[in-house]
Structure 1
Amino acid sequence: MTGMGPVAGRLSLGETIAIIDIGSNSVRLVVYEMLARSPAQVFNEKEMAGLGRQVATTGRLATDAMDRALEALLRFRVLCEAMQVGEIRVIATAAAREAANGPAFLARAEQAIGQRIELISGSREAYLSGLGVISGFAEPHGVAGDLGGGSLELVGVDGDRVGPGISLPIGGLALMDQAKGQIKLAEKIVREQLDHHPQLAAMRGKDFFAVGGTWRALATLHQRQSGYPLSVMHGYTVPARDVADFARLVERADASVLEAIDAVSSARRPLLAYGALVLDLLIKRGRPRAVVISASGVREGLLYDMLPEDERRVDPLLRGAQDYNQLRAREPRHAADLIEWVQRLVASAGFPDDPAGRRLQDAACLLSDIGWRAHPDYRGEQSLNVIAHAAFSGVDHAGRAFLALTVFHRYAGAKSDSPAAAGLRQLLTPRLLERSQLLASAFRVAYLLSAGMPGILPRATLACVDSRLVLRLSGELHALSSERVTGRLKQLAKLLGRDHEISLG
């Protein structure tokens, strides 16, 4: 299948790639823009086929579940052809792996999708889940747990390394099937399965990265109940003790009466109590520091596994920000000037060398002009919403809030506010909020001088000199000195605790 050429609104650096995941609960198609460190999703569709619904007790895939899965695969084949997908990878997990009629089903599934299907083992599923977490977070340390319909995979992650993993038959559908709908019996089954695994000891005092749709649904309910100001799931982090308390509440409650239950699909609601039970017992046994929700799992791990080594080392946040800059900035080359210009200012102001802060600073520069097409009155608000909810990886929620607020105030000014901005400020420490305000104020000077075009900022240097903030304009740029530039420079100087000066060299 030949990939399509460049498309407006899309990067054209490689062919699209599709991953089809035949899981125990859902059959999902995800088409990615290209094989890259931070790939955008072009299309995402699923069918809640429930292949693993009866496997634990009957040992077989149900006929109606197989029919739904095969219909979905036929549909996915047509969609992939319509999108001219360059490469298709198809994997199958626990339900097809454990069922006696799994091989016969996979033979029919290969005919339906027109592709070879890789039936992955439990250990490989755990490994890919671990790679998925590594692909989605900056230096993760702890244990990844991927709860599917048929199984739970546990695997240690340490920076860019994946430890040994295990697969346990206590996925949501399998557990509900084995326990015959009795939560007390389910608890006994889970306790027995969680005995004596080194992966549990490895999470003590570290993070537990929760992968899987049922746990994301639980996180959605927790966000709504707590009034959390950001609705992004990936990177949502909650102290383990708070998660355990909430999980026990869900175990005991009728799902239909839970607040915000409408935010969870009807197919997942019966699994919430079982997912909460498994999470509660994992926290009790493993004693992690926090639970971190990961939207990156097996599919993203498979993509990461396909990447060359040099691409794996690329910073996913900066790559994602570069993509936005390339697609949305008036002149993408301006960002390189801005990065150097801002760093010179920050260094002269005496801020300590901070790699994590520099990373966010560079990302903010790359994102600083993505809202220019909107009406001037709404550029700040639009940019805030786009950045706060972008499909970035490698950044936590405080980092998202920092980037969104910085670009919001770059457009709207320091005194502007909105309910969304006020909510995001709750996620920042005072130090990070101060850095955001400083960057936004610097951006307002830079864009007034350069109009977002490259070549100006290298000749309009800005630096702190003793007690003064000095803007130096070379001869041909003298005309850029104006009342508005002076006003914005004065605001920036005030934030830095300095006087301001424009030097016409």
Structure 2
Amino acid sequence: MAKVTAVIDIGSNSARMAVFKKTSRFGFYLLREEKSKVRISEGAYENGGNLQDFAIKRAIIALREFLFIAKSLKARKILCVATSAVRDAPNRSEFIKKVKNELGIKIKVIDGDKEAFYGGVAAANLLYEKNGVTVDIGGGSTELALIVNKKIENTISLKLGTVRLKELFFDKDDIEGARKFIKKEIEKLGKIFNSKKVFGIGGTIRALSQVIMKKTEYPLDILHGFTYGFEEQKNFLESILKMSDEELLKIGVKPERFDVIRPGTLIFLEILKYLGTKEVITSGVGVREGVFLTDLLRNDNYKFPNNFNPSVRTIMDVYNIDRKIASYETKIALEIFDLLKKDFELNDKYKMHLTYAIKLSRAGELIDFYEAHKHTDYILLNSLHYGFRHSDRLLISKIIRFHKRKKIKKREIEKFKNLLPKKEIVEKLCNIFWVAKLININLSMPDVKISKEKNKIIIEGPHLYLAKERSKSRELFFDLEIKNLV
């Protein structure tokens, strides 16, 4: 597979390009993302589905710019897919031929099930939850994929899209007509897709999540993985249907979404009600990531290996983290954790946070050794995109951020109180982290013996002189004795 791959998705409303760079077999990161509001479907639904000349021209201009960017980034592979508006257009072959002749880009028109599949592959591999239903609202259609234990069990495409409903109903101020149209179409779902958890994909759903984040004063500016209860937000979502443009702007909707946010919200509301959804998990990934991953994982049943996390691998690759040292220090931390967990009421779930905190703790050293813990905190909070809850990535980053402290100031974690455990738990995890790093202060990975007497942890082994000297300067929640065997 090419080291740099560009994926272009021509939707009914927007054309988007994502450029991915591989760091190893399964490690990768997003190198660049671009979007153009080409509105390839503009005027199509009122003209027998035919793509209009002005829309085609607009799309080709945007695609040419995308191509410049992709080639500048040394993309060796360009994958281009087109969805609802193009696949439904009687004159689609004319558009496809024009793009091929003028730009050399080969467009693959995908059907609704394939579009749903790509969204499902992205959600199944890059979100933290293993089971749920993806809902991907586009300009011309809405796709759903049923995911069971990270495997796509079923897909469906509905003729429900923001631009489609805008032109057919909302431009005529017929909201109730649109609602009836939606309800009739979603009857096709039957009972197969019922799910308490929905993975929300697409621009409309991301925009709604951003509005809810603003409304609830959510402490993190991270969209992918943002989760909210549907019942708690249902009335608010209903209110959006009747908001003026001025009111939409006030709650945080961007002007370019004014004309499609209402039809998109109505589609989403009716689908969530039909599915009996309790929780919405926002996905920052969709068709483009699905196309990329389908190519990357084509020989692996479209799934990453068990217990593999692409974000963790990418960080270790990019920041040249020594895997042997990381494994050694992780082993020390987990041994100490197991010895202390019963007496100090530490839940086993925190072993995961300690493990990743230790493994990735040296990322910030590439930027500045003296303030590495601060830089690593920022790197992890903003780079552990895939496979983690917001609460997980926050705790992992804060263990590193505060591990040098005797005490954490209450105000420093107060704003995260709904995402982090109690301050005392964070401090205990920081203490264990500090000792694990201390034992390997000279990077020799000494062969140590760790034991416990009452509330005292005893660590004995060679090359622990510096560790023993440094340990006297720190007050911990447990007693620590280090024996340097010369």
TM-score by length of 1: 0.86
More displaced, 371-380 or 245-254? 371-380
Q: How does 1:7-46 map to 2 (within 5 A)?
A: 15-34=3-22, 37=26, 39-46=28-35
- The DSSP-based 3-state class of the residue aligned with 1:55 is coil
Cα deviation code 1:345-404 (max 9, x no counterpart): 122224699885443332211221222355678554443333222252111111122112
- CA distance 1:381–1:120, change in 2 (3 Å): same
The residue type equivalent to 1:161 in the other structure is K
Q: 2:234·2:269 contact (CA, 8 Å) conserved in 1? A: yes
Match status 1:392 vs 2:385: yes
**TM-aligned CA deviation for residue 164 of structure 1:** 2.1
The corresponding residue for 2:185 is 193
Secondary structure of the corresponding residue to residue 208 of structure 1: strand
Alpha-carbon distance, 1:449 to partner? 4.2
Who is 2:228 aligned against?
Answer: 238
User: Which residue, out of 460, 470, 479, partners 1:499?
Assistant: 479
SS in 2 for 1:146: strand
1:434, distance to aligned residue in structure 2 (A): 5.1
Q: What does residue 439 of structure 1 align with?
A: 429
- Identity, % of aligned positions: 22
Q: Does 1:97 align with 2:84?
A: no
Contact between 2:227 and 2:280, CA under 8 Å: does it hold in 1? yes
2:50 aligned residue? 60
Q: Tell me: CA distance 1:388–1:240, structure 2 relative to 1, closer, same or farther (3 Å).
A: same
* Comparing 382-391 and 77-86, the one that deviates more: 382-391
1:409 is matched with which residue?
Answer: 402
> Unmatched 5+ residue regions in structure 1?
4-13
- In 2, Cα distance between equivalents of 1:18 and 1:96: 20
Instruction: After superposition, give the CA deviation of every residue in 1:407-448 in whole Å (9 maximum; x if it has no partner).
Output: 1112555425665x4323421244xx6554333222223334
- How many pairs does the alignment contain? 477
Q: 1:203 to 1:405 in 2, by over 3 A?
A: farther
Q: Does 1:423 align with 2:415?
A: yes
Distance 1:466 1:311 in 2: 49
The equivalent of 2:457 in structure 1 is: 469
Over 3 Å counting, the alpha-carbon distance change for 1:359 and 1:56 in structure 2 is farther
Counterpart position of 2:376? 383
Partner of residue 158, structure 1: 148
Matches within 5 A, 1:212-227: 212-227=202-217
Q: Which residue of 2 aligns with 1:8?
A: none
Quick one: which amino acid aligns to residue 313 of structure 2?
Q
CA contact (8 A) 1:342 1:442 kept: yes
Contact 1:316 1:394 in 2 (8 A): no
Q: Secondary structure at the match of 1:33?
A: strand
Give 1:286's match in structure 2, choosing from 272, 275, 284.
275
Residues in 2 aligned to 1:91 and 1:24: alpha-carbon distance in whole angstroms: 12
Matched to 2:385, the amino acid is F
Structure 2 Cα separation of the partners of residues 256 and 286 of structure 1: 32
1:28 deviates by 1.2
Are the counterparts in 2 of residues 132 and 298 from structure 1 also a CA contact under 8 Å?
A: yes
Change (3 A) 1:60 1:434: farther
2:352 aligned residue = 359
Write out per-residue CA displacement over residues 124-175 of structure 1, whole angstroms, 9 at most, x where no aligned residue. Answer: 1111111111011234212111101110011211112112211111111111
Is 1:125 aligned to 2:105, yes or no? Answer: no
Residues 311-345 of structure 1, C-alpha deviation per residue, up to 9 Å, x if partnerless?
83336874422332343367554212111111221
Q: Structure 1 residues 83 and 376 mapped into 2: Cα distance closer, same or farther (>3 Å)?
A: closer
Match of 1:321 among 312, 321, 327: 312
Counterparts in 2 of 1:376 and 1:350: CA distance versus 1, 3 Å: same
Distance of 1:136 and 1:479 partners within structure 2? 42
* Post-superposition offset of 1:230: 1.0
Distance 1:473 1:17 in 2: 49
Match of 2:468 among 469, 473, 481: 481
* Structure 2: gaps of 5 or more residues: none
Q: Is the 8 A contact 1:449 1:480 kept in 2?
A: yes
Q: Which residue among 268, 285, 291 is the counterpart of 1:302? A: 291
Q: Structure 1 stretch 159-168 or stretch 226-235: which is displaced more?
A: 159-168
Checking the alignment, whether the CA contact within 8 Å between 2:137 and 2:161 is kept in structure 1 is yes
What does the per-residue CA deviation read over 1:180-226, in whole Å, with 9 as the maximum and x for residues that have no partner?
4222322222122112423x65334x201110011101100110111
Aligned amino acid, residue 26 of structure 1 = S
| Partner residue, 1:7 | none
Residue of structure 2 aligned with 1:277, choices 266, 291, 294: 266
- Partner secondary structure for residue 183 of structure 2: helix
Alignment correspondent of 1:253: 243
How has the CA–CA distance of structure 1 residues 260 and 462 changed in structure 2, closer, same or farther, with 3 Å as cutoff?
farther
1:88 Cα deviation after fit? 1.4
Shift in Å at residue 93 of structure 1? 0.5
2:176 pairs with one of 184, 188, 197 = 184
* SS of match in other structure, 1:170: coil
Shift of 1:178: 1.2
Deviates more, 1:371-380 or 1:275-284: 371-380
| 2:105 is aligned with 1:115 | yes
Tell me what 1:11 maps to.
none
CA distance in 2, matches of 1:161, 1:477: 48
- Kept in 2: contact 1:370–1:383 (CA 8 A): yes
SS at match of 2:383: coil
Kept in 1: contact 2:408–2:427 (CA 8 A):
no
Matched residue, 2:337 = 346
Structure 1 residues 456-502: Cα deviation after superposition (integer angstroms, max 9, x where no partner): 3x43454434432112232x4335421x31233x41xx1xxx43322
